[in-house]
């Protein structure tokens, strides 16, 4: 091999090393930022529902069991209502606003809190979409329920005055 080729290869090896180090550094930074963003969404969601449950979520575990949640990264056709697949750990937003990993195994549904290791950089968009859709449903459902309670209260008050 010529001296010129050796010099070119040495420079290329150095660039490759630097490029690889930069990719790893950027990936680690992006992962940390993505996890912080998803945990921030989770925290704000739990604060927003203030101990209530997210209303309007579907059972994702039919027919194996009962697990109402929002499927993170569900298909375009089903979105957050996409059912869990057999033995496939799936990231979801639970009714209490937590990021969880759920899985159907036989007739059981196992659910555990999502660890940071379960969260990937590419989950940021789907988690945001799932939280958005779950909140939209929760607000719509809660507003309808509150209006129904207000009507029942008004009717009860009129009835109490009439018989009273």
Band of residue 77 on the pLDDT scale cut at 50, 70, 90: confident
Q: Tell me the residue length of the chain.
A: 164
Q: What local confidence, expressed as pLDDT, does residue 54 receive?
A: 97
In this structure, what token pair is assigned to residue 71? 């499927």
What are the pLDDT digits (tens) for 29-75?
999 999 999 999 999 999 999 999 999 999 999 887 899 999 999 88
What DSSP element (H or E) covers 26? helix 3-49
Instruction: Give me the mean pLDDT over the 115-134 stretch.
Output: 97
- 85 burial (CB, 10 Å; 0-12 / 13-18 / 19+) is exposed
Q: What local confidence, expressed as pLDDT, does residue 1 receive?
A: 72
Contact 84, 102 (CB under 8 A): yes
C-alpha distances out from residue 63 to 23, 30, 104, 107, 161, Å: 44, 38, 10, 8, 48
Q: Is the pLDDT of residue 156 over 80?
A: yes
Contact 71, 80 (CB under 8 A): yes
């Amino acid at each position: 091999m010529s001296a010129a080729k050796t010099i070119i290869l040495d420079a290329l090896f150095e660039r490759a090393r630097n490029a690889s180090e930069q990719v790893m550094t950027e990936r680690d930074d992006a992962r940390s930022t993505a996890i912080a963003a998803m945990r921030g969404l989770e925290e704000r969601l739990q604060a927003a529902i203030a101990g209530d449950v997210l209303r309007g979520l579907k059972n994702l575990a039919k027919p194996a069991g009962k697990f109402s949640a929002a499927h993170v990264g569900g298909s375009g056709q089903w979105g957050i209502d996409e059912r869990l697949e057999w033995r496939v750990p799936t990231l979801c937003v639970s009714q209490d606003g937590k990021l969880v990993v759920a899985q159907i195994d036989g007739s059981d549904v196992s659910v555990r809190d999502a660890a940071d290791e379960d969260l990937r950089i590419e989950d940021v968009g789907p988690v945001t979409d799932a939280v958005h859709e779950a909140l939209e449903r929760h607000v719509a459902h809660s507003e309808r329920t509150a209006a129904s309670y207000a009507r029942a209260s008004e009717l009860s008050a009129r009835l109490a005055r009439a018989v009273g």
